[in-house]
């Protein structure tokens, strides 16, 4: 495709310039590392194919029903399934949560805070059903490690802005965000691109006419 052949990796200052403009629009997102990596892992499993509200209801019920993650791990799977039912796909998610907790054993994942990033990510990605996005969520939200989760909004907005090679697989987009977010706040990068994707750079018809990034975005020119 012509667009793909003309793409070249942008320098990190491009992401910084985008974030400055988004900061003027939305403010600087709040959020501190919560230092609870297992909570984040489970929350990310629960967030699949549902909205934030249903995810949070399922998570709250899970925490109310069981006194610890060990108790969730050792419970009959049907009990876990019952607790998380409001989040949808309960049978699949219950099995996956227990698989992850069994794989962790007694590891509380506290070592992720200071381990080399590659090592920390590789460990997480070796857990059942855990991919780059989940690993990045755990590292970023638990400990502020500079790994930016590329969800559907970050991927779409980033591709339109020319941050990612058109058609790049998610793995490549994560590597690209890692490179681009050097010198930027990775948490801000993640939250600001999601906000922008929800409010203006929406999936079907992006509202380019009212977008604070329109002067630096190649998408309106490409799409005519």
Binding mask 161-190 for ligand SF4 (x = CB under 6 A): x-----------------------------
Q: Report the distance separating Cα 148 and Cα 133, nearest Å.
A: 8
Does 37 sit near ligand SF4 (CB under 6 A)? Answer: no
Q: How many CA atoms does the CB half-sphere of 81 hold within 13 Å?
A: 8
133 included as an active-site residue: yes
Taking the CB of residue 60, how many other CB atoms lie within 10 A of it?
12
For the four alpha carbons of 109, 111, 117 and 118, in that order, the dihedral sign comes to: negative
**With contact defined as beta carbons under 8 Å apart, do 128 and 96 qualify?**
yes
| Positions in 195-214 near ligand SF4 (CB under 6 A) | 200-201, 206-208, 211, 213-214
- For ligand SF4, give the closer residue by CB, 38 or 173: 173
Q: Report the distance separating Cα 68 and Cα 21, nearest Å.
A: 43
Q: Which of 133, 174, 187, 195 is catalytic?
A: 133
Taking the CB of residue 198, how many other CB atoms lie within 10 A of it?
12
Does 59 sit near ligand SF4 (CB under 6 A)? Answer: no
Binding mask 131-160 for ligand SF4 (x = CB under 6 A): --------------------------x--x
Minimum distance, C-beta of residue 158 to ligand SF4, in the bound complex (Å): 9
Does 222 sit near ligand SF4 (CB under 6 A)? Answer: no
Block residue for tokens 């985008």: 18
Task: By CB under 6 A, name the binding residues for ligand SF4.
Answer: 157, 160-161, 200-201, 206-208, 211, 213-214, 217, 219-220
Catalytic residues, by residue number, are 133
């Amino acid at each position: 495709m012509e667009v793909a052949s003309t793409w070249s990796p942008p320098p990190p200052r491009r992401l910084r310039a985008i974030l400055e403009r988004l900061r003027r629009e939305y403010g600087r997102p709040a959020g501190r590392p919560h230092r609870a990596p297992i909570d984040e892992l489970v929350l990310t499993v629960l967030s699949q194919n549902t909205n934030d509200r249903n995810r949070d209801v399922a998570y709250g019920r899970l925490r109310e029903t069981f006194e610890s993650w060990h108790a969730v791990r050792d419970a009959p799977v049907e009990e876990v399934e019952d607790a998380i039912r409001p989040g949808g796909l309960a049978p699949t998610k219950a099995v996956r949560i227990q698989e992850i907790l069994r794989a962790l054993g007694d590891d509380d994942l506290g070592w992720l805070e200071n381990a080399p990033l590659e090592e920390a990510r590789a460990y997480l990605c070796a857990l059942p059903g855990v991919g780059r996005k989940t690993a990045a969520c755990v590292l970023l939200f638990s400990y502020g490690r500079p790994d930016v989760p590329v969800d559907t909004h970050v991927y779409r907005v980033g591709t339109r802005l020319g941050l990612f090679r058109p058609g790049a697989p998610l793995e490549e987009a994560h590597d690209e965000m890692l490179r681009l977010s050097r010198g930027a706040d990775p948490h801000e990068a993640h939250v600001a691109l999601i906000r922008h994707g929800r409010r203006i750079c929406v999936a079907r018809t992006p509202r380019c006419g009212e977008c604070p990034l329109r002067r630096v975005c190649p998408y309106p020119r490409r799409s005519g």
